[in-house]
Structure 1
Amino acid sequence: MIAVVVAAAVLAVDSSALAARIGSAAAVLGIVGVHFAVGRHLIRADRESVVLMGVQLGLFATAVTLVPNANWLLFGVIPLIFQLVPLRAATIGVIAANLVLPVSNLILRPGSLGMDLVIAVISAAGGIWLGYFITRVVAQSRERQRLIDELEKTRAEVARLSREAERARLSAEIHDTLAQGFTSIIALLQAAEPDIDLAVRTARENLAEARSLVAALSPAPLASSSLPSAVRRQTDRFHEESGVPAGFRVTGDERALPTAVEVVLLRAAQEALANVRRHASAHEAAVLLAYTPSSVRLVVRDDGCGFVPGAADGYGLSGMRSRAAQVEGAVTVHSDPDTGTTIEVEVPA
């Protein structure tokens, strides 16, 4: 818009010769044409071009040399320079643009040189300051956009990890509750003398676990009783289903624990007892829940055939370790054929 106004003013108002006015207006419109043909695309692509700045300055110098009043185009040329090249090159370009009129007048019209120099200094200083300010604003805007983009990526990654963690949690819940419950029901019904009543009770408990899982509540055994009571019931159920004698003992001062800690300990007891039933061929088992001032330990022992720790870690033990890690706890496994297996889960509480 500035270029069009300056071109029109040069043609209509200026007192210079007609040929000079036509040439000056053509140079001004040439700046517009080059900008729309090349410059605008480079600016949008965030690409710099010293060559293009030189072309635009050459057209501007032509226009001002032919008609001094075309110098008003500085208001449009200075911002254009800062869009085309880095700050240092733009500073040189602005100084060069402001020197066009004094230099041309020094050669062609020496009488007006003094005022031209004053105006050039003021214009250059103002243009450089404005360009620096605009450059800083653009840089800050780009940095903000970069931070926003990184934030969006981070939020997307957090959402993805959250979904994966939730899937892992649900997988562990299903493995520790429903899958074990169904395994127990099948074993009870396939026995030589099926225990229908116990199978029905196990199925009902499994249904309660399923409803609790869907409702995203704490495990059903913890919803209506304390942790020791829930672990004792799991021990008694193990004895009923497997026929293996199992003792349960609590030491230390029982106290309320965070729900997350209670869930970890209860699920660990369920998994450890399920492993004894399925793999140990044990004659006896024992469960200990020990409260200390700084932690709570769950210990499950059996006198079965044992295994090599690490070599036989299935989903159950890895899930147990993963659960314990979520509450900064640890799982320790000791096992050999002579003494059986001891699984210990300790969590700070």
Structure 2
Amino acid sequence: MDRAPHPVAPSHWRWIWDLYFAVCLVVVLVLVVEEQAVSLPARLAAAVLLSLMALWYTAYGRAAVRGADGSRESWIFVGVAALLFLAAVAFVPTSTFALPVICPMVFLALPLTRAALVVILLNVLPPAITAIHAGTLARVHDLLPIAVLGVIFALLVGAYIDRIAGQNDERAQIIAELQARRAEVARLSHEAGVAEERARLAAEIHDTLAQGFTSIITLIQAAESEADTDRDAAYRHLGMAVRTARENLAEARAMVTALTPTSLRTETLADAIGRQVDRLAEETGIGAEYEVDGVTGELPTAVEVVLLRTVQETLANVRKHAHASDVAVRLSFTDTSVTLTVTDDGIGFDSTTGSHGFGLRGMRARAEQIGATLEISSVPGEGTTVRLEASR
């Protein structure tokens, strides 16, 4: 059974076959020209026919031999080449030595079964042509064994060529599948990266701009309620709102550029966290304590951002939900890690349920991004503790 059409060897290997074709044909031409048992005109005619076969392969055959598909172009190439070869054999029987050149071309151009039939004919016909030319069957007995051996050898070579071509086809199919899967993986990776970046931007906006706007609204509402009764307190709250608005604007500009918190550009992590704690105490009146243990040193920017955002989100939750009177923030440094602990004495919540807001989910996602450990423990009526530990 014939194989499906398959590609021949890659173009950068075709020069090997072309070299083999040229060397073999030159050798056959030399043998034909040197054949003294045949007249000079017959030798010249055979040489011309073999040369035409070479030109036919160069001009038409190299393009026709594309994949053993038995196309019309392949049959035309094989038919003309076979006629030129048989005609050369009719003039000079030594032209039969061109069979090692023609048979591989046939297997390259036609499906295996059809190529085998053509090759058998090409090996069997030369003895018959020689007998007809000599007018006697005397040499047929000598040529038939050679023809049979030639057929066997040609079929073995053809089967090998077909097998190699089939393997090339399988490899090409595997490569195509791998390339398709690579493209699919790249597409999925891109989509995952886009989704992750969107989630990160959402967390950035939630932890900075959204919380800042919430603080501004709270301060303005407080100022409105105090406008007629305590103007100094109202002005103080309005001043805080203006300051928060300016910080929000700076954060927005930072997100547009490098997404690094502006506070970490102008001050250390410990100072930035301290400022968040002081603001909470100033704006809400909650008793806030802040403590730093160990030698601070330098931390990776990603770790600093996660620590600062965790403090901002935790204090924002204290401000909006905890109804706490006291908050304690502790930042502890060791040689290998840094630990942030935020504890309040508020109303707490049930930390075993999964119905938490975007802020807590964002904190967990941030911790996972840097390989940190985040623990949130809370008991209704007894307060909440948030603990984040990250490697330095």
TM-score with structure 1 setting the length: 0.72
Aligned partners of 1:212 and 1:310: how far apart in 2? Answer: 36
- Where do residues 281-320 of structure 1 align in structure 2 (5 Å cutoff)? 281-311=323-353, 312-320=355-363
What is the identity, as a one-letter code, of the residue corresponding to 1:213? M
Question: What SS does structure 2 have at the residue aligned with 1:307?
Answer: coil
Residues 172-229 of structure 1 show CA distances to partners (whole Å, capped at 9, x for unaligned) of: 0000000000000001001123411000000000011000001024111101111100
The structural deviation recorded for 1:133 is 3.2
What is the identity, as a one-letter code, of the residue corresponding to 2:348? G
The structural deviation recorded for 1:255 is 1.4
Aligned partners of 1:313 and 1:251: how far apart in 2? Answer: 31
Query: 8 Å contact 1:101–1:116 — kept in the other structure?
Result: no
Residues 117-162 of structure 1 show CA distances to partners (whole Å, capped at 9, x for unaligned) of: 1321332233233333333333333332222222222211111111
Aligned partners of 1:157 and 1:102: how far apart in 2? Answer: 57
Comparing 220-229 and 286-295, the one that deviates more: 286-295
Q: Confirm or deny that 1:168 pairs with 2:199.
A: yes
Partner of 1:78: 107
What is the identity, as a one-letter code, of the residue corresponding to 1:168? A
Q: Confirm or deny that 1:134 pairs with 2:134.
A: no
Q: Confirm or deny that 1:347 pairs with 2:379.
A: no
Query: 8 Å contact 2:70–2:110 — kept in the other structure?
Result: no
Number of positions where the alignment pairs a residue of Structure 1 with one of Structure 2: 288
What is the identity, as a one-letter code, of the residue corresponding to 2:158? G
Aligned partners of 2:152 and 2:276: how far apart in 1? Answer: 90
Question: What SS does structure 2 have at the residue aligned with 1:331?
Answer: strand
Q: Confirm or deny that 1:321 pairs with 2:364.
A: yes
Partner of 1:333: 376
- Among 144, 167, 179, the alignment partner of 2:175 is 144
Question: What SS does structure 1 have at the residue aligned with 2:339?
Answer: strand
Question: What SS does structure 2 have at the residue aligned with 1:279?
Answer: helix
Question: What SS does structure 2 have at the residue aligned with 1:282?
Answer: coil
- Where do residues 187-266 of structure 1 align in structure 2 (5 Å cutoff)? 187-191=218-222, 192-193=225-226, 194=234, 195-266=237-308
Comparing 204-213 and 124-133, the one that deviates more: 124-133
What is the identity, as a one-letter code, of the residue corresponding to 1:245? G
Aligned partners of 2:191 and 2:118: how far apart in 1? Answer: 54
Question: What SS does structure 2 have at the residue aligned with 1:305?
Answer: coil
TM-score with structure 2 setting the length: 0.65
Query: 8 Å contact 2:216–2:245 — kept in the other structure?
Result: yes
Query: 8 Å contact 1:298–1:344 — kept in the other structure?
Result: yes
Partner of 2:41: none
Aligned partners of 1:336 and 1:146: how far apart in 2? Answer: 55
Query: 8 Å contact 2:127–2:147 — kept in the other structure?
Result: no
Q: Rate the CA distance shift 1:93–1:208 in 2: closer, same or farther, 3 A.
A: same
What is the identity, as a one-letter code, of the residue corresponding to 2:391? P
Aligned partners of 2:211 and 2:202: how far apart in 1? Answer: 12
What is the identity, as a one-letter code, of the residue corresponding to 1:200? V
Partner of 1:3: none
Question: Alignment RMSD, CA only?
Answer: 3.3
Q: Which runs of 5+ in 1 are unaligned?
A: 1-12, 14-37, 42-55, 83-89
Q: Which runs of 5+ in 2 are unaligned?
A: 1-44, 46-68, 90-95, 132-136, 227-233
Q: Confirm or deny that 1:117 pairs with 2:148.
A: yes
Query: 8 Å contact 2:372–2:390 — kept in the other structure?
Result: yes
Aligned partners of 1:40 and 1:196: how far apart in 2? Answer: 86
The structural deviation recorded for 1:74 is 5.1
Residues 70-125 of structure 1 show CA distances to partners (whole Å, capped at 9, x for unaligned) of: x988556423555xxxxxxx4x7765554456678999986442232132133223
Q: Confirm or deny that 1:184 pairs with 2:215.
A: yes
What is the identity, as a one-letter code, of the residue corresponding to 1:205? E
